[in-house]
Amino acid sequence: MTRLVKTLTIALPLLFAAACANPATDKPKAVTSEAAPAAPAPVAGEKYSITADNSKIEFVGSKVTGSHNGSFGKFSGAIDYLGQPEKSRVTITIDLDSLTADDPKLTAHLKTADFFDVAKYPQATFQSTEIKVGGDKGASHTITGNLQLHGVLNQ
C-alpha cells in the first residue's frame, strides 16, 4: 500500500442531517448523494454520532481491467459541530474486518497482509484537520485530515 488518500469528500449537509436524527423519535436515515428533505439546523456546540444506521462508507477500487465496489459495515464516529461546517471537526473509526467487496474472493484477499492486514491492524481512524466549502462531483464540502491506516499515520 504505497499511497494513502487523506481527503474525504462528502455531501456534508447530508451527513449533518443524518447525524442530527433523534433516535428516540426518528427512524434512521441513510446518507446518499441525492437531495435530502430539509432537516432542522444543527445547533452550535453539539456532537452528532456517525453510525452505520445513519451513514455509509463505500469505495470503488479501479484497475486496468475494471473496477470493484466495496464497503465497510462497522464504523463509528462523531461530528463536533461548532456553528458552521467549516469550523467543525469529524472523527471516524472503521472496523476493517467489516470490509465487503462485490467478489467474495476479493473480500478475503483485501483482508490479508497484501492490503489491509486486518489481523495485525484491525481498525483505521480519520480525524479532520480542515473542512472547506466545495469539492469534486458536486460535493458541498471537502474534509482533509489525518488517516491512520495499516499502522501509518498519514498527515
**What kind of architecture, by CATH, is found in domain 7-154?**
Beta Barrel (2.40)
Question: What pTM value is reported for the model?
Answer: 0.70
Percent of the chain scoring above 90 in pLDDT: 63
Residue-wise pLDDT for 115-153, tens only, equals 999 999 999 999 999 999 998 888 899 999 999 998 898
Inter-CA distances, 70 with 57, 62, 81, Å: 9, 11, 29
Instruction: Decide if pLDDT at 104 tops 90.
Output: yes
Per-residue pLDDT, averaged over 31-59, amounts to: 74
Q: What is the pLDDT of residue 137?
A: 86
Cell of 69: 465496489
Q: What is the pLDDT of residue 33?
A: 39
Cell of 90: 469529524
Domain range annotation of the chain: 7-154
Contact 111, 99 (CB under 8 A): yes
